[in-house]
């Protein structure tokens, strides 16, 4: 039996609401329809009585809502609800029943019934239907959004797995996603990355850089920020990565999208080039170009702090005689021997440089002129204790920076002091073993 309520506007936004009403008392079905006629609904109501009719009608058509009496002839509304669920319906299921007790009502609600209306309070029926349909629309909207989001995330994951860059998605310090390339670069599996804070992966040397980059992106509202930093792999190895940081939403929440590329080999090559450009290829100490840069940095520091620094110039005595008597290979070894002595006596903050030939220069931060001459004498003492052949001696001079002047001026002062030391005795600075050494064989 199909009955139509008047075609009047309804509160749910649906043009027509199809209702399947399970009721075996015709008068009660008519009373429900009367209440719907008084409401603002436009509905089509199909009334059925038996389990067979109920199952057949559900299978043959789609309904927006089911109303069902609890007590039926030979069965009940909850058995109808089981049929309803097995057929895959997700529409609201509302019990319209006589007094069944609060405990029974609560049990039905726990099993999934949308709501209930007592027959002696049918005036509530339009409101309950309106609420149930509104909640159903919200659920469907959420499900559609969730399905679209899942589809979007699946497309993102498929794309992320196909690219050659590492992809990491973070919310706060927690990793929500990592592709295979990210596993390869970091040495962590995806499961391990999910348990490790991002702070543990960033190398301590690069943490301030990452913070500054993130702050700059927030302050300037930049969608993407790119920088180079070091990470620590699971094995504790430091690796350089080129990192791009962007914004992303995952599961509806904002996060950070990190794209990383391993540039360790490139950085190592750059460091090697810089080392070669700044270092003497024979002895491995700095060269003259680096020495000037170090002088300028110390001069600026002196301007800020007023702390002294000194410059020493060393000249390896008799290098020409060594080359003439023993050959240039022995002469080169002599230069390396002297450079090793300097390295053994210098602090980490001291700068050793060879400017060519037999001349070495050292910058001693935090050192006044007295300390510089003490250092020079210690070098001479260490050479005197070296029993390798040929025996080596050096001349040296020192000058202290006094707040002004160029590198050339300070170097000239130390160089003059060195030549003053050399001039004390024409042959005193050349070891006798070199003056009387047997000439090398042709």
Q: Is residue 186 part of a domain?
A: yes
Pair (360, 400) in one structural domain: yes
CB 366 within 8 A of CB 349: yes
pLDDT tens per residue across span 65-123? 999 999 999 899 899 999 998 988 888 999 998 878 878 888 888 898 989 899 988 98
Residue 112 lies in a domain: yes
Instruction: Tell whether 259 and 283 lie within a shared domain.
Output: no
* pLDDT above 70 for 433: no
Last-in-domain residue among 139, 174, 195: 139
Answer yes or no: do 258 and 289 share one domain. no
The residue behind tokens 């050096």 is: 394
Within 49-124, residue ranges assigned H as helices are: 51-60, 77-86, 102-110
| Residue 343 within a domain | yes
Domain total in the chain: 3
Q: Which domain holds residue 91?
A: 2-139
> What is the CATH classification number for the domain harbouring 70?
3.40.50.2300
Note the pLDDT tens digit of each residue in 6-61: 443 444 555 688 999 999 999 999 998 888 888 777 888 999 999 999 999 998 87
Tell me the pLDDT tens digit for each residue of 288-339. 888 898 999 999 999 999 999 999 999 999 899 999 999 999 999 999 999 9
Task: Kindly report which listed range (148-157, 165-174, 278-287) carries the lowest average pLDDT score.
Answer: 148-157
Quick one: pLDDT at residue 148? 64
Q: Is 385 helix (H, G, I), strand (E, B) or coil?
A: coil
Do 227 and 309 sit in the same domain of this protein?
Answer: no
User: Would you say residue 355 lies in a domain?
Assistant: yes
Residues 237, 345, single domain; the answer is: no
DSSP category for residue 206 = G
> Same structural domain for residues 429 and 283?
yes
**Lowest mean pLDDT, pick from 172-186, 243-257, 284-298:** 243-257
For residues 236 and 204, the answer to whether their CB atoms sit within 8 Å is: no
Q: Kindly state whether residues 413 and 356 are assigned to the same domain.
A: yes
Same domain, 290 and 250: no
Q: Is 332 in the same domain as 360?
A: yes
Distance (Å, whole) CA 117 – CA 97: 7
Q: What is the pLDDT of residue 100?
A: 81
In this structure, are 103 and 218 located in the same domain? Answer: no
What's the whole-number mean pLDDT along residues 134-155? 73
Say what the pLDDT of residue 442 is: 41
Q: What is the mean pLDDT of the chain?
A: 84
Task: Average the pLDDT over each of 3-17, 307-321, 344-358, 413-427 and give the range with the smallest value.
Answer: 3-17
Question: Quick one: CA torsion of 313, 314, 318, 319, rounded to 10 degrees?
Answer: -90
CA distance 416 to 399: 9
The whole-number pLDDT of residue 156 equals 67
| 129 and 249 housed in the same domain | no
Residues 72 and 135 in one domain: yes
Give the containing element (helix H, strand E) for 93: strand 93-97
pTM above 0.75, yes or no: no
Q: Domain of 252: which CATH number?
A: 3.30.450.20
**Residue 41 CB burial class (10 angstroms; 0-12, 13-18, ≥19):** buried
For 108-143, write each residue's pLDDT tens digit: 888 989 898 999 889 899 999 988 888 888 887 777
Rg (CA), the chain: 44
Determine, yes or no, domain membership for 271.
no
Q: Which of 215, 233, 263 is the last residue of a domain?
A: 263
Backbone angles phi, psi at 65, to 5 degrees: -160, 145
Task: Give how far Cα 120 sits from Cα of 97, 101, 123, 125, Å.
Answer: 9, 14, 8, 11
Cβ contacts of 104 within 8 Å, gap of 6 or more: 70
User: Residue 409: its pLDDT value, please?
Assistant: 94
Confirm whether 331 is domain-assigned: yes
pLDDT at 434: 55
Q: What is the CATH number of the domain that holds 318?
A: 3.30.70.270
Q: Is residue 441 included in any domain, yes or no?
A: no
438 or 96, greater pLDDT: 96
Band (221; pLDDT cuts 50, 70, 90): low
Residues 353-364, mean pLDDT to the nearest whole number = 91
């Amino acid at each position: 039996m199909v009955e139509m309520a008047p075609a009047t506007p309804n509160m749910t936004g649906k043009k027509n609401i199809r209702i399947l009403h399970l009721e075996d008392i015709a008068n009660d079905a008519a009373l429900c329809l009367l209440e719907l006629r008084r409401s603002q609904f436009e509905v089509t109501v199909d009334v059925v009585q038996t389990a067979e009719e109920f199952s057949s009608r559900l299978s043959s058509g789609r309904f927006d809502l089911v109303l069902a009496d609890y007590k039926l002839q030979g069965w009940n509304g909850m058995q109808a609800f089981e049929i309803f669920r097995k057929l895959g319906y997700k529409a609201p299921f509302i019990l319209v029943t006589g007094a069944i007790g609060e405990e029974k009502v609560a049990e039905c609600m726990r099993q999934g019934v949308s709501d209930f209306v007592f027959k002696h309070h049918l005036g509530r029926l339009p409101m309950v239907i309106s609420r149930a349909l509104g909640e159903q629309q919200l659920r469907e909207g959420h499900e559609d959004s969730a399905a679209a989001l899942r589809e979007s995330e699946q497309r993102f994951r498929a794309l992320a797995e196909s690219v050659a860059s590492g992809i990491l998605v973070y919310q706060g310090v927690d990793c929500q996603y990592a592709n295979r390339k990210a596993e390869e670069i970091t040495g962590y599996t995806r499961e391990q990355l999910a348990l490790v804070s991002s702070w543990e992966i960033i190398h301590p040397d690069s943490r301030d850089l990452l913070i500054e980059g993130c702050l700059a992106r927030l302050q300037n509202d930049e969608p993407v920020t790119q920088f180079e930093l070091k990470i620590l792999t699971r094995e504790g190895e430091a690796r350089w990565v080129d990192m791009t940081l962007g914004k992303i939403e995952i599961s509806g929440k904002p996060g950070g999208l990190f794209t990383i590329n391993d540039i360790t080999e490139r950085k190592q090559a750059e460091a090697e080039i810089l080392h070669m450009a700044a270092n003497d290829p024979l002895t491995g100490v700095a060269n003259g170009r680096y020495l000037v840069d170090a002088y300028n940095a110390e001069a600026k520091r002196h301007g800020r702090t007023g702390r002294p620094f000194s410059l020493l110039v060393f000249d390896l005595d008799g290098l020409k005689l060594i080359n003439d008597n023993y050959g240039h290979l022995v002469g080169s070894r002599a230069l390396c021997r002297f450079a090793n002595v300097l390295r053994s006596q210098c602090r980490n903050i001291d700068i050793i440089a060879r400017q060519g030939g037999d001349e070495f220069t050292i910058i001693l931060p935090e050192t006044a002129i007295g300390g510089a001459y003490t250092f020079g004498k210690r070098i001479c003492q260490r050479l005197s204790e070296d029993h390798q052949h040929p025996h080596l001696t050096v001349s040296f001079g020192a000058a202290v920076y006094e707040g002004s002047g160029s590198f050339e001026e300070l170097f000239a002062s130390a160089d003059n002091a060195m030549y003053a030391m050399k001039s004390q005795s024409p042959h005193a600075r050349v070891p006798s073993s070199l003056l009387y050494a047997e000439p090398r064989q042709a």
